[in-house]
Amino acid sequence: MPVFKRKNTYYIDFYHNGKRYRKRIGENKKNAEIKLKDIEVKLYKGEYLGITEIDKILFEDFTKKYLDYAKINKEPSTYAADEKRLKANLLPYFSGKYLHQINISMIEDFKRMRAEKAIQGSTINRDLALLKHMFTIAIDTEFALSNPVKKIKFFKESDGRTRFLNQEEINSLLNQCSGMLKTIVLTAIHTGMRRGEIFNLKWQDIDIVNRDITVSRTKNNLVRHIPISDALFDELILLPRKSEFVFCSDNGSQLQIKDIRTEFEHALKRAKLTGVCWYTFRHTYASHLVMNGADPRTLADLLGDKTLQMVMRYAHLSPGHKREVVNKMTSSLIWSQIGHKSDIL
């Protein structure tokens, strides 16, 4: 019968007659330990405990509470993705179970069931990550005392797609784009912004005088500033300002990815490019920055990633650039050896 600490508060947590009980004690651990001893004595004597049973809530009911939280605290695109994942994957399996009853064994069974259906490990990891965050919120709102997903081993993932465009491919694609699509693609390649950040971009975020873009509504809530390149500047100043959104339809409504998907796919086909998605442009931006001497810290600031480890997954140097660096280094070594020998002679 352990004593738990959640934030600055200590709890006692125990089972009696097959049921789980808890009581919030306060900020003093000693008091919690004394209270726990008192519980042990009462249990031994069979006395009335007076302990409140843990708040029971079905998984599907807590899902509604979680989505209410996500709608306020997450980006609309992230909220939509969470809602879709919950309805398609998590609710069919965990519905009918009380939240406090979901344990490690149950989650491992869910993980195994998904894997047996040939679902990719990365997809299952996203399910688990969502479930893990749900339990984090459940603990904060006192519907759970622990997070069983923390003890679940996630599937190993690769560093992600390494596809990025070289200069020839960039030119080929831009030549096949026109109008609004061309400006959107150029923005993606010249800023490394995520797709959602681009389509949510507003004119108030663009400082034309200082040639700077402020990205405030980001995936990890980090505000960042991105310099506007000369080529992008020339495109942006030609755009008509029909609404608060930089990229909008003729009637001024915010442009959605679905509005340009067909045109984008046709441009890729005409440019004879394969394996290209919107994230390819973020890879392209990061890779070309590195190949032009950007250090990891600068790269992290421009991309808005919290850790250098996350940044380095984007820094996929081209084979040609690697070869150039190695040749430069070995050439220097060879000449230093030759110079050393000539000195001896």
Residue 238 has pLDDT above 60, yes or no: yes
Q: What percent of the chain has pLDDT over 90?
A: 48
Of 304 and 342, more confident: 304
Say what the pLDDT of residue 167 is.
93
- By the 10 Å C-beta count (0-12 exposed, 13-18 middle, 19+ buried), 267 is classed as buried
Of 171 and 304, more confident: 171
Q: How would you label 309-336 residue by residue, b for 16+ Cβ within 10 Å and e otherwise?
A: eebbebbbeeeeeeeeeeeeeeeeeeee
- By the 10 Å C-beta count (0-12 exposed, 13-18 middle, 19+ buried), 7 is classed as exposed
Say what the pLDDT of residue 64 is.
96
Say what the pLDDT of residue 201 is.
94
Q: For residue 112, how many other CB atoms are within 10 A of its CB?
A: 11
Say what the pLDDT of residue 182 is.
95
What confidence tier does 342 reach under pLDDT thresholds 50, 70, 90? very low
Say what the pLDDT of residue 129 is.
95
Q: For residue 250, how many other CB atoms are within 10 A of its CB?
A: 8
- Tell me the C-alpha distance between 129 and 175, whole Å: 40
- By the 10 Å C-beta count (0-12 exposed, 13-18 middle, 19+ buried), 304 is classed as buried
- Tell me the C-alpha distance between 183 and 187, whole Å: 6
Instruction: Tell me the per-residue pLDDT of 40-73, one tens digit each, with 9 for 90 and over.
Output: 777 666 654 554 445 689 999 999 999 999 998 8
Residue 79 has pLDDT above 70, yes or no: yes
Residue 339 has pLDDT above 90, yes or no: no
Instruction: Tell me the per-residue pLDDT of 126-165, one tens digit each, with 9 for 90 and over.
Output: 999 999 999 999 988 878 878 999 999 999 876 555 688 9
**What average pLDDT score do residues 257-267 get?**
93
Instruction: Tell me the per-residue pLDDT of 272-326, one tens digit each, with 9 for 90 and over.
Output: 999 899 989 998 998 888 888 888 888 888 888 766 666 666 555 656 666 666 7
DSSP bridge partners of 11: 4, 24
Say what the pLDDT of residue 333 is.
65
| Distances, alpha carbon 191 to alpha carbons 27, 38, 247, 327, in Å | 48, 62, 15, 31
What is the reported pTM?
0.59
Q: Which amino acid is at 232?
A: L
